[in-house]
Structure 1
Amino acid sequence: MTQALSKKAIAKKAIAKHAASKTAAKKSGGTMPAQEQDRQPGREREMRPQPDYEPKVAGSGRLRGKVALITGGDSGIGRAIAVAMAREGADVAILYLEEEKDAADTAKAVEDEGRTVLKVAGDVGDETFCREAVEKTVARFGRIDILVNNAAEQHETDDIREIDAKQIERTFRTNIFSFFYMTKHALRHMSAGGAIINTASITAYRGHKTLLDYSATKGAIVAFTRSLSQALIEDGIRVNAVAPGPIWTPLIPASFDAEHVANHGKSAPMHRPGQPNEVAPCYVFLASEEASYISGQVLHPNGGSMVAS
């Protein structure tokens, strides 16, 4: 009876939050209220409406006793993954650049699920930081069972002739170099049964005319995932990816102008952006024993868009 009531309360709360988001969008005349942020990474606390990150269902212990390390874990999809995995029984380490308030909010949400959380601030584009973050995680929890490479940045540019070497290197360092660094160092502490999950994007399959360097990194992530899965199959470590479509995260107001933000997600077949808690279940599934026969694959929570995979 208690579990049934718990599930009912969770479902009721999720419906109320979704309704609030739809009301805000209707009032703005677009999918979401027009807004911008002047720096990357974006701040979740400054977004209106707030993204939905809380899991929609009660946990069932699918990750009980596991340790998850999540880059970009302070906000957006990363926050939703952290809370969802905590609800399923995992302790969590979250890596983030400098968004202390967002990271504190995520840490509290994980602790509210009864799990332990470690916060580590720094630049995942720096291999030394990645090594140190892994070492801190192992020092705290003893091992790593799940690695989620999720950190990303993007910079909208209308003309490739305006993209300089600094931007290209910065985007690649965050979006793909960090995946190599984190994987390289985390693998020293992972064993058979472990899982690596990489965040790709619908842009890897469809491209994006004003996100050339970002789209290129996401294509690289798909190839990296498929290749790494083959390299680690004999070690019993599964490697998969998730390629979200338009999702309501801090990266959106931090990357685009207000008009674009107001229309974010309208081109999806569902005519709206997804919420982080509509993406996080993909990661929980891929990390769990339910996905024990799945490796080298990509899941596509994208509002119904068809992609060639």
Structure 2
Amino acid sequence: MSTLDEVKPPLPEQQQEVPGVTGAMDPRPDHGEESYRGSGRLENKKAIITGGDSGIGRAVAIAFAREGADVLISYLDEDEDARDTANWVEKAGRKAVLMPGDIGSAEHCRAIIDKAVEAFGRIDILVNNAAHQMTYTELTEIPDEEWDLTFRTNIHSMFYLSKAAVPHMGDKGAIINTTSVNADTPKKTLLPYATTKGAIQNFTGGLAQLLASRGIRVNCVAPGPVWTPLIPSTMPPEQVKEFGKSYPMERPAQPKELAPVYVMLATDEASYVSGATVAVTGGKPFI
């Protein structure tokens, strides 16, 4: 059975504490550890990936490394997952730098950029991927602090990181932001998260125009359901069990199925692709 077949609902019952860890997931997510084959498309590039410890971020880190890039892995506090990702980067013969901390802090975002410049000398690719979400069934259930946390993590950080990174990027730089299908069709139980994902898409379009004269491209990826630790740690058991079933392919994506899109957007070959949203939705139209 392939790993794609393994994530077809119904999925085993499971719950985790936020933010979740990879090792406790059943089935275990596939980040392309055994399948991704690079071809030098990002040779000697220097990349930062937020949320690089697990899920989409880990899959992108593995793919970038196998394409020839050194990677700084930004993450909150999931040290074991982050070390695993770093090991895969190093097995590909590339440099891995770990940077734990809260990207909701502007000061920490600037520290991430400083550490990358110190380690690599420059920044070629910034992947703004980290996200926070929680499920709520009523508007009155959403604490003010939760709304603030979601915005600080999901969208404020993109502004802080991009602003700090741009002075260290050349005229072939690439910024790639992770939005969501929720930017187009918001899920009512993910109101804070979905709202930030709409903001990310708008931020991407505006920033692409602002940075075009500098030769820096800005795009975003809009995933549908993806099997990551965020799911069993932020959704109720009945939603986890049927996660992805309502999509045309009747399953969530494995993280490895997202990585090739990030690679494409990071390459110099995508030199005229900027301001775009690339949907990866298993057949669901994204308008």
TM-score computed with the length of structure 2 as normaliser: 0.97
Larger displacement relative to structure 2 (41-50 or 61-70) = 41-50
Does 2:57 correspond to 1:78? yes
DSSP-derived class of the 1:93 partner: strand
- Contact 1:32 1:262 survives alignment (8 Å): yes
**Cα distance in 1 between the residues matched to 2:240 and 2:233:** 9
In the other structure, the counterpart of 1:263 is 242
> How large is the Cα RMSD of the aligned pairs?
1.2
Q: Which runs of 5+ in 2 are unaligned?
A: none
- Contact 2:253 2:282 survives alignment (8 Å): yes
- Contact 2:4 2:253 survives alignment (8 Å): no
**Cα distance in 1 between the residues matched to 2:135 and 2:183:** 16
- Contact 1:31 1:273 survives alignment (8 Å): no
Equivalent residue in structure 2 for 1:245, among 207, 214, 224? 224
In the other structure, the counterpart of 1:147 is 126
1:7-26 aligned at under 5 Å gives the runs 16-19=2-5, 21=6, 25=8
**Cα distance in 2 between the residues matched to 1:304 and 1:200:** 17
Equivalent residue in structure 1 for 2:27, among 41, 49, 52? 49
Offset of residue 86 of structure 1: 0.4
- Contact 1:79 1:106 survives alignment (8 Å): yes
**Cα distance in 2 between the residues matched to 1:31 and 1:287:** 35
Offset of residue 16 of structure 1: 4.1
In the other structure, the counterpart of 1:197 is 176
Counterpart of 1:18, as a letter, is: L
**Number of aligned positions between the proteins:** 286
In the other structure, the counterpart of 2:253 is 274
Offset of residue 17 of structure 1: 3.4
In the other structure, the counterpart of 2:193 is 214
Offset of residue 41 of structure 1: 1.5
Offset of residue 174 of structure 1: 0.3
**Cα distance in 2 between the residues matched to 1:17 and 1:110:** 21
Residue by residue over 1:10-30, the C-alpha shift from the partner in whole angstroms, topping out at 9 and shown as x without a partner, is xxxxx74335x25xx5xxxx3
- Contact 1:204 1:216 survives alignment (8 Å): yes
What stretches of structure 1 move > 4 A for 4+ residues in a row? none
In the other structure, the counterpart of 1:99 is 78
- Contact 1:68 1:148 survives alignment (8 Å): yes
Counterpart of 2:286, as a letter, is: V
In the other structure, the counterpart of 1:90 is 69
1:124-203 aligned at under 5 Å gives the runs 124-203=103-182
- Contact 1:91 1:116 survives alignment (8 Å): yes
In the other structure, the counterpart of 1:284 is 263
- Contact 1:152 1:175 survives alignment (8 Å): yes
**Cα distance in 2 between the residues matched to 1:307 and 1:149:** 21
**Cα distance in 2 between the residues matched to 1:229 and 1:136:** 25
Does 2:87 correspond to 1:108? yes
Identity across aligned pairs (percent)? 52
Residue by residue over 1:60-111, the C-alpha shift from the partner in whole angstroms, topping out at 9 and shown as x without a partner, is 1000010010000000000000000001000000000000000011001111
**Cα distance in 1 between the residues matched to 2:75 and 2:230:** 13
Counterpart of 1:90, as a letter, is: A
**Cα distance in 2 between the residues matched to 1:54 and 1:233:** 32
- Contact 2:104 2:153 survives alignment (8 Å): yes
**Cα distance in 1 between the residues matched to 2:131 and 2:200:** 11
Larger Cα Rg: Structure 1 or Structure 2? 1
Does 2:214 correspond to 1:235? yes
**Cα distance in 2 between the residues matched to 1:45 and 1:102:** 8
- Contact 1:130 1:181 survives alignment (8 Å): yes
**Cα distance in 2 between the residues matched to 1:176 and 1:151:** 10
**Cα distance in 2 between the residues matched to 1:263 and 1:17:** 17
| Alpha carbons of structure 1 residues 110 and 298: separation in structure 2 relative to 1, 3 Å | same
